[in-house]
Amino acid sequence: MRELSLDQAEGLRRARAGRGVSVIAVTGGKGGVGKTMTAVNLGTALCEMGRRVMLLDADLGMANVDLVLGLRAQFNLEHVIDGDCELEDVVLTAPSGLQVVPASSGSFSMANLGIASQVGLIHAFSDLIQPLDVLLIDTAAGLSESVLTFSGAAQRVLVLVCDEPASITDAYGLIKVLSRRKPNTQVDIISNMTESASQGRELYEKLVRVSQRFLGISPRYLGCVPRDEYLRKAVQQQVAVVQSYPSSPSARAFKKLAEDVDKWSGRNGLNGGLEFFVERLVGADAARQEDMFR
């Protein structure tokens, strides 16, 4: 592994100022709730609106965004960490224009990155020179340190929930931990694989009631994505449903989500989203180091 500089301020200075990038994490606590497909289709829909979007596969040890889109990755984030290439060397571009940063699949070392390696990843993003409007982060499942770090570093966290007890419980658990770590984190709820719009709203209300009662917070409702046979077909074909079946129920829902996200992105009021992202990652890293010496 290459020697990693710990001068984090230097990395921040190299980040390009004033780009106003919106950094959005897509997560859910439980696996199988549709995080990756949501991130892929949300990113694709934003690209179709003319936005410059990058999707970071932050499921570092069990990545699959490139596979979902039928892309072939010669390099991935593990090669960046090992010093074999730069971040820009691993970026893939889907037919929609969506830029994808692939990670490793089946890599124990990537799934359990140490502090020094995470600092290296931080610096890799501080060196990124592509102009972006939106950086989407597809997190891993569960409550691993990487999930909490990436979610806490984002400006906005989209939490997916399905109509099953484990999904609701895990989504609440994730919101609980995030609210305690980063009290100002903006959390939005997306009800996924719903049978109707009313079911999606009911799912959200279940989650928001318990969040209000025990956490004193009220996550916002971003909308729902219906269960859709066309989405399953798109997965099999390794394409985004918003491109392959643009009139399907799920495609229309993803496009509506993209419109809502774009409205928020245009008024985030933050100066240089990547700087914000890197700074909060650095802050999370510094906090972990401080905890080690307490």
pLDDT higher than 90, residue 103:
no
The pLDDT value recorded for residue 62 is: 80
Beta strands in 145-246 (DSSP E): 156-161, 186-194, 220-226
Question: Residue 213 burial (CB < 10 Å; 0-12/13-18/19+)?
Answer: exposed
Contact 24, 154 (CB under 8 A): yes
Query: For 282, phi and psi rounded to 5 degrees?
Result: -60, -40
Predicted TM-score (pTM) of this structure: 0.85
Classify residue 95: in a domain, yes or no: no
CATH of the domain at 287: 3.40.50.300
Section 94-106 average pLDDT: 89
Ranges 61-65, 122-126, 207-211, 213-217: which has the least confidence: 122-126
Contact 99, 87 (CB under 8 A): no
What total of structural domains would you count in the chain?
Answer: 1
Confidence of residue 167 (pLDDT cuts 50, 70, 90): very high
Query: For 16, phi and psi rounded to 5 degrees?
Result: -75, 130
Classify residue 42: in a domain, yes or no: yes
Classify residue 228: in a domain, yes or no: yes
CA distance 192 to 223: 9
pLDDT digits over 42-85, tens only? 999 999 999 999 999 988 778 789 999 999 989 988 888 888 88
The pLDDT value recorded for residue 149 is: 83
92 SS3 class: strand
pLDDT higher than 70, residue 253:
yes
More confident residue, 185 or 229: 229
The pLDDT value recorded for residue 97 is: 96
Classify residue 97: in a domain, yes or no: no
Closest CA to 166 of 189, 190, 142: 142
Ranges 43-47, 108-112, 116-120, 168-172: which has the least confidence: 116-120
Classify residue 254: in a domain, yes or no: yes
Classify residue 168: in a domain, yes or no: yes
pLDDT higher than 90, residue 221:
yes
Kindly list the distances between the CA atom of residue 95 and the CA atoms of 52, 98, 99, 289, in Å, as whole numbers in the listed order.
Answer: 13, 7, 9, 41
Q: Which domain, by its residues, includes 271?
A: 25-58+135-292
Classify residue 88: in a domain, yes or no: no
Classify residue 10: in a domain, yes or no: no
